[in-house]
Structure formats: structure tokens, C-alpha cells
Amino acid sequence: MDIERYVRKCLKKGISESKIIEDGFKKVIEVKDTDEGWARRFVEAVVEEVKTTEKYRESEDKNLKYILDCPESGITMGKMGVGSRGEGDFFVHREIARIIESTNQDTEVDSTEQDDAGVVRANAEHVVVAVDGTHSRLSDFPFIAGFHVARAALRDVYVMGADAVAVISDVHLADDGDVSKIFDYTAGICAVSEAIDVPLVAGSTLRVGGDMVLGDRMVSAVGAIGTIEKGEPTARKRAEVGDVILMTEGSGGGTISTTALYYGMFDVINETINVDFLKSCKNLIENDLLKHIHVMTDVTNGGLRGDAFEITNTAKVSLEIYKEKVNELVNPKVLEMLQKLNIDPLGVSIDSLLIIVPKDKAGEIMEKTGAKQIGVVKEGEVSYLIDENGEKELLIPKFREAAYTPVKKVVGEQKPDNFEEMKEKVRKTCDMAIEKKDFVVKEMFKN
């Protein structure tokens, strides 16, 4: 529970301080093992802090007020589907890229291309950097949380054609969390790190919200750094008409583990504990095969629907993918679970390696990775899924990724009726953020 958020919301509604304190300390006792006196003093102190911070609005320093004010779009993360790897999430990430693009003068691959890793040139080498956040529903299972987020960050570096050289970690554990969670989480990261001989070299450990957030929720991230000594990054924009699309078997990662946990199909989790993807990428590097590959990516963000959508938008080509070929490359236990739960295998992260390569080079790539062909690249502006009867359907993401837990099924996958209006409100606040950034850079740094 975020006590600061609770107090700010109550004050904004005009609720009296005495009422906030009286109700607030009871909420603290519900979630924190403490006595009534401490809880009351704690809420009183939060009320005073919040009141103090709000006084900035009375400041005569207009620049300060401009910097501290955060304009509201009126659209929440949940309503917009941010983090749910669908149409709303992709839109917000493209807006974020608009803020970042002014910093991209010296980048080889940047956020505007919607790849999961960025590339800069340092002397004669390309340096590739990626960061992934831990799956939010794995907070109570820190070892697999660390394992899968480390694997995800490394995956993003390898699919850009880089050889990983280091891993970094950031973990925030709420005030009531047991310190052991940090150790278990770090052990999960290091299980991957040791398996592929890439060291964990730095990190940060903090509390979620400092004193303000009660409970034991863990939020964390892992970053990975790699280098490309020769050749070019295998970014999504390099897909070409006539290429073939290959894919390795996917056993899933954080998403599939979460599905298995919250539906009680625990044996499926064992299928996800591997580093096969990373070893396939290292194999390609060691056999000097990256020079033949146009695109490598991981089937994660919104599943194959999301990846096809992003590749199409970036490379301006059409992907034609055969549905049955894809299903054959989903781990049998994972596929059985998804089908039993009526979860679209193409709309959820299955953690396969997707490779786009010229047709004459496909054989050697398949031999070294175990990948199989699942489609072809053609001219066009949209991608298609082709069934066993040759019928085509648009291969596009839904508003959210396929609902893969009971809670997500309640939330649903449908696009809000006012989505275009929501986008416009979000876009407006992004414009305002860019204006604020430009103001600070041009006006406040001018001396």
C-alpha cells in the first residue's frame, strides 16, 4: 500500500486531516506488524510531508513550478495497457521514443526503431545495451524472477548480433519485504550469468518508495551490455523481401512461468528453466554466421503478433507466417497448457529465437540452431497468418497481449471505445514533456 499516494488523494478530495489520520493508521496496521501509536505517528508525519511538498505551488519561482508540475493526461497505465504488450503499449513506447530521439545523433540503432536493445559506436566497435524489467507477478518467486529477467536482457543483446560481456542489476523491495528476497533474486540472475559465462558486475538495491510503500512487493530490472567487433547490428529494419523466416522452439520465460504458477500447472515451470536461446545465439557468433543474418529477435513482446507488427512497421515489409509451423515450435507442454487455457500462442511471449535470413543461407543457420522455417518476407505493409487451408488473416496485436492469468482474463484484451481520444491525450502530455526538456536544456543550461 502506498501511504503517500493515499494521503495525497485524500487531501485533494478535501478530506480533513483528522479523518485521514484516523482512517490511515488503521490501514497501516492492516498491512504492517506494528502498534497503534507508531502507526498513528507515521501517518501524521506523512500528512505533514505531503502538505509541505504541495507548498511549491505557492512559490514565486515560475521555472521551479514548471519543472515540478507534471501535467496529467487523465489516462492511467492500466487503461492504456502499458506493460501489457499490445497496441496501447506499443503506442506509448513510440511516444517515449519521441522524447529520446533528440539524444540519438550518435546511435546506430535507437529507440525510434522499437528494437529491445540500442547500439552506439565506441571506437571501432558497436556497444549494445538493453534493460528488462522483472515480471510483475513474480514478486513472490524471486529466484525465477531473477533468472528470467537476466535471460531476457541478455537475449536482447544477443539478438542484436552482439556478444554479451556484462550484466547489471537493480532491485527495489518494499519496506516489509524479507531481505532474503534480494539474495534469491540475485541467485537467479547469477544462475544464468554462470551458465553462459557473463559476469554480474554492478547493481543497486533500494526500497520501493522508501518508507511510503508498505508490503513486500519487489520490483527490479536487469541490464546487459555486449559488443559487436565486426559486422552490423541485426536490427529489425534490415528485413528484406525474399528473406525466409526461421524460428527455434520456445519454452517460455517469465510470462509462461506466471501462467503456470497462477493456474497451478507447476510442472510447466521446469520447461522454462534453460539457456537454450542464449546458447543458440552464441553458437551463431562463434561460427561467424551473423554476417548472413538480416534480423534476429526474440518472440516476447506481445508474442509473434507483436513482433511481426513491429518488424513490418520498421522494415516496411510483409511477413507471411504459417500458423501450424509456429505451433510445432512451441514446447509441447507449454502448448498443451496454452490450448487448455484458451490462450493464443501467437499473442503471448514464448521466448523463441526468430531469424530473418536470405533463403540461400537458411540451411546453415537451421543446422546450427535447430530452427525451422515458419514463413517468408514479401512486399507489403501488413503481416499475415496463414492457416493449414491457405487462408490468410491479419497478424496484428490486440490491445493487450493474450490474457494469461485469471486476473488478466477479468481485465480483458479489448480496445477501449475511446482509444483514439486516449491516444491524443497521451500524445499531448508527451509534447509537454518534450517542451519542458527543451526549456531546461536551452534556457537553464545556457550559462
- pLDDT tens-digit readout, 325-375: 999 999 999 999 999 999 999 989 999 999 999 999 999 999 999 999 999
Same-domain status, 39 and 85 = no
Residue 355 domain-assigned (yes or no) = yes
Would you state the pLDDT for residue 233?
73
Q: How many alpha carbons fall within 13 Å on the CB side of residue 50?
A: 21
Greatest Cα pair distance, the chain, in angstroms, is 75
- DSSP result, 179-240: THHHHHHHHHHHHHHHHHT--EEEEEEE-TTTTTB-S--EEEEEEEEEEESSS----GGG--
Same-domain status, 334 and 380 = yes
Residue 177 domain-assigned (yes or no) = yes
pLDDT at residue 124 tops 60:
no
Would you state the pLDDT for residue 65?
84
Residue 111 domain-assigned (yes or no) = yes
Same-domain status, 139 and 223 = yes
Residue 210, Ramachandran bin (φ over 0: left; ψ between -120 and 50: alpha; else beta): left
Task: Say which residue the cell 499531448 belongs to.
Answer: 428
Would you state the pLDDT for residue 300?
82
pLDDT at residue 110 tops 60:
no
What is the rounded distance in angstroms from the CA atom of residue 108 to the CA atom of residue 124?
Answer: 13
Tell me, what amino acid is at 254? Answer: G
Sequence-ordered alpha helix ranges (H) in 227-302? 254-263, 267-272, 276-286
- Domain span at 15: 3-68
Q: In what order do the strands lie in the sheet with 295-298?
A: 295-298, 353-357, 244-247, 372-378, 318-322, 384-386, 392-394
Same-domain status, 374 and 249 = yes
Choice between 339 and 201, residue whose per-residue pLDDT is larger: 339
The residue length of the chain stands at 447
* Short-list 368, 400, 393, 217, CA closest to 302: 400
* Average predicted confidence (pLDDT) for the chain: 87
Same-domain status, 209 and 123 = yes
Same-domain status, 191 and 204 = yes
Task: Say which residue the cell 496529467 belongs to.
Answer: 72
End residue of a domain, out of 233, 250, 266: 233
Number of domains in the chain: 4
* Short-list 253, 301, 304, CA closest to 274: 253
User: Would you tell me how many other CB atoms lie within 10 Å of the CB of residue 340?
Assistant: 10
Same-domain status, 251 and 391 = yes
Cell numbers that stand for 237 in this block: 529494419
Which of 39-43, 227-231, 242-246, 265-269 shows the lowest mean pLDDT across its residues?
227-231
Same-domain status, 333 and 387 = yes
Choice between 247 and 417, residue whose per-residue pLDDT is larger: 247
Residue 412 domain-assigned (yes or no) = no
Asked if residue 295 lies in contact with residue 247, where contact means CB atoms within 8 angstroms, the answer is no
Same-domain status, 229 and 116 = yes
Residue 282 domain-assigned (yes or no) = yes
- DSSP result, 351-418: --EEEEE-GGGHHHHHHHH--EEEEEEESSSS-EEE-TTS-EEE----SS----SHHHHHH-SPPPTT
Task: Say which residue the cell 531473477 belongs to.
Answer: 146
Same-domain status, 311 and 340 = yes
What is the rounded distance in angstroms from the CA atom of residue 187 to the CA atom of residue 190?
Answer: 5
Same-domain status, 261 and 379 = yes
Residue 411 domain-assigned (yes or no) = no
Kind and range of the H or E element at 77?
Answer: helix 77-80
> Nearest-5° angle of CA 157, CA 280, CA 193?
55
Residue 201: give its domain's CATH number.
Answer: 3.30.1330.10
Residue 271 domain-assigned (yes or no) = yes
Assign 117 a pLDDT band (cuts: 50, 70, 90): low
Same-domain status, 261 and 226 = no
Residue 358 domain-assigned (yes or no) = yes
pLDDT tens track for 131-165? 999 988 898 898 999 999 999 999 999 988 889 98
Residue 272: give its domain's CATH number.
Answer: 3.90.650.10
